[in-house]
Amino acid sequence: MESLLHFARGPLFRLCFMIMLLGLARILFLDLWEAYRAYRKAGDKKMPWRLIVRRGLEWAFPMKRIWRNPQLYSFVSILFHIGLILVPVFLFAHIDLWKSAIGISWPALPFRWALWLTISTIVCAAVLLIERLSVKAIHSLSRGQDYFWLILLLFPFVTGFVCANLKIGAGLYQFLMLVHVLSGDVIFLLIPFTKMAHCVLAPFSQIIDALAWKFPPATDQDILETLNPNH
């Protein structure tokens, strides 16, 4: 068990984390590279930058949008995202691991905050899962990936919570820690290849969206020719 744990948080962690880091950089690069090529080919080179920025900010800080969608879903989703980002990055134990491995550290969350954020993230994930299953509209839009990710993300949070806060024996602690680390590794490995890649792609989605409506010059003629047999 101990050697497995060492492997999971040593070589396996480095493998998965590097695949996530470089994989995200790669898809971001490919995304922007294709966007650039689309822009170069476009007939109309005027980009609605103001609109892009406004819409981008609206999605990043959804103060208005929150009231348009089902409110519970919006709130829970936002809270879920906050916990999902803050807890793994700013947990003291994680920062300590980074510090001992490569010597860098950053300010940590206070213990109470981390505790309550973990609990809120677990609860939010459960609510989101129930919502996906029960609300018909959301259920019909969901793919297998969406359920899979909610369940997978629960693993490290639940095991981390139990390990950090409950009085358990050494054997159970190690087993749960192994599950914690392994599920974290799987998450890192899958992020760049699934919908989770939105963590780096989302800021650019408005630009891509705007570019999608730019066509190469004389596209309209080509479409006309294709659609109109008499042309």
Partner 1 sequence: MNRVHNTKIVLWLITGLAAAIALNRFVFGLGATTNLNDEVPWGFWIGFKLSWVALSAGGFVIGAIFYMMKREKFHSLVRIAILTAFLGYSAFIVSLIFDLGLPWNIWHMIIYWNPNSPLFEVGWCVMLYTTVLVLEFLPVPLENTSRYATVRAFLQKFRFPIVLLGIMLSTLHQSSLGTLFLIMPRRLFPLFYSHIIPIEFFISAIAGGLLMLAFETLALHWMYRRTLETDLVHVLCSVSVWILGLYFLVKIGDVALEGKLGLLLDGSWMSYLYIVEMLLTTVIPFVMFVMPKWCANRRVQWIGTSIGIVGVVLNRIDIGGFAMRDATLWYTPSWMEVVLSVGILSTAALVFLFIIETFHVWDIQPRDPEALSHTPPFFDRVSGTWLGSPKTSALTRHTLAFVISFAVGMALISGKRLHAEGIENVTVRPASGIDTLCINGNRDSQFVEFPHQAHIGWMRSGRISSVTIDSLHYVLGAGADSCIVCHHLDVPGEKLSNCWECHTSMYSEVDFFRHDWHASASGANLKCDDCHTPGETRTGRTARKCTACHPSYTFADTAGYGPNAYYIPSYVDAMHKLCVSCHTIESRVIKDKPNLALCSTCHRTGTPPGLRAGMKWDVSLPRFDNVVLPTPVRGIR
Stretch that binds partner 1, among 72-80, 138-146, 152-160, 164-172 (CB under 8 A): 164-172
Q: 107, 69 in Cβ contact below 8 A?
A: no
| Exposure b/e, 4-22, CB count within 10 A at least 16 = b | ebeebbeebbeebeebbee
Task: Check residue 197 for interaction with partner 1 (CB under 8 A).
Answer: no
The contact pattern for partner 1, residues 118-157, with x = CB under 8 A and - = no contact, is ----------------------------------------
CB of 15: closest distance to partner 1 in angstroms? 4
CA distance from start to end of the chain: 73
State in angstroms the smallest separation of the CB of 135 from partner 1.
Answer: 29
Q: How many residues does the chain have?
A: 231
- Given a contact cutoff of 8 angstroms between Cβ atoms, the answer to whether 159 and 176 are in contact is yes
d(CA 118, CA 158) in angstroms, rounded, equals: 8
Tell me which of 40, 45, 46, 102 binds partner 1, using CB under 8 A. 102
CA angle 195, 200, 206 (to 5 degrees): 90
82-101 mask for partner 1 (x: CB under 8 A)? ----------xx--x---xx
Site for partner 1 in 17-46 (CB under 8 A): 18-19, 22-23, 26, 29-30, 33-34, 37
CB 64 within 8 A of CB 58: yes
If the CB atoms of residues 128 and 177 are measured against partner 1, the closer one turns out to be 177
Cβ–Cβ under 8 Å, residues 177 and 160: no
Question: Least Å distance between CB 26 and partner 1?
Answer: 5
The interface with partner 1 within residues 167-196 (CB under 8 A) comprises 167-171, 173-174
Asked whether the beta carbons of 187 and 153 are under 8 A apart, the reply is yes
Give the binding site for partner 1 (CB under 8 A): 1-2, 5-6, 10-12, 14-16, 18-19, 22-23, 26, 29-30, 33-34, 37, 92-93, 96, 100-103, 108, 111, 114, 163-164, 167-171, 173-174
